[in-house]
Amino acid sequence: MRFTSSMITGVLRNTGQTVVFTADKGSARVNISGGPLMYRYQFEELYIHYGPEDVVGSEHLIQGISFPAELQLYGFNVELYANLSDAQQKPNGVAAISIMIRVSPPNSELRILTNQSAPVKTLSLHGLLPETDYYMTYEGSTTHPGCWETVTWVLLNKPVYLNKQMIHAWRQLKQGINLEQPKTNIMNVRPSQALHHRTVRTNINFPQAQALHDLQSQ
């Protein structure tokens, strides 16, 4: 996977359902390409998903196993469409990069994303990524409303790390339309869906690599 730029500015906000980072319109454009992507996709949003406990928090399961949290980087097809709103309803409109989070000494860039709502002066997308060239990919949908079937998903095969205190900070965020009424045990994870005849592809060479197991063992 290739990112044309690293640093980006934007706004981190608690929507009452999840935590979303949105790139500023005037920020440097970050294009994502390579791997299974046939087009260039301009980064637009980052979603954070987590559950009330470490055993359930990711929207994707790897061999039936959930992770404490999951980052999802969304970009729109800049070669065919003008913006994310238009692209997410059109063929080949969106690319989503999925990064699993495990509990361990933290990734420094992830610390930036543990506030409830704040401007973010600089965020390194490269700094959020694990060091791997391996991935799994399939054609699916957004996991937030309206679940448009226009997404090329790319699941990186290594996790990044965040400590328990920082994941706990997400779980303490206020939830609901009225953010003055906090709810505990927040769960902003869409239940896993059946494949429905979709094909999951990978660049992992199973006979020569244990790459798929890195998600579970590291």
Catalytic site positions:
81
Please, are residues 29 and 55 in contact by the beta-carbon 8 Å criterion?
no
Task: Report how far apart, in Å, the C-alpha atoms of 43 and of each of 7, 107, 114, 212 are.
Answer: 12, 20, 20, 26
**Which residues share a beta bridge with 98?**
72, 155
Structure-block tokens of residue 34: 């390579």
Helix (H, G, I), strand (E, B) or coil at 204: coil
Helix (H, G, I), strand (E, B) or coil at 172: coil
Identify the DSSP state of 173.
S
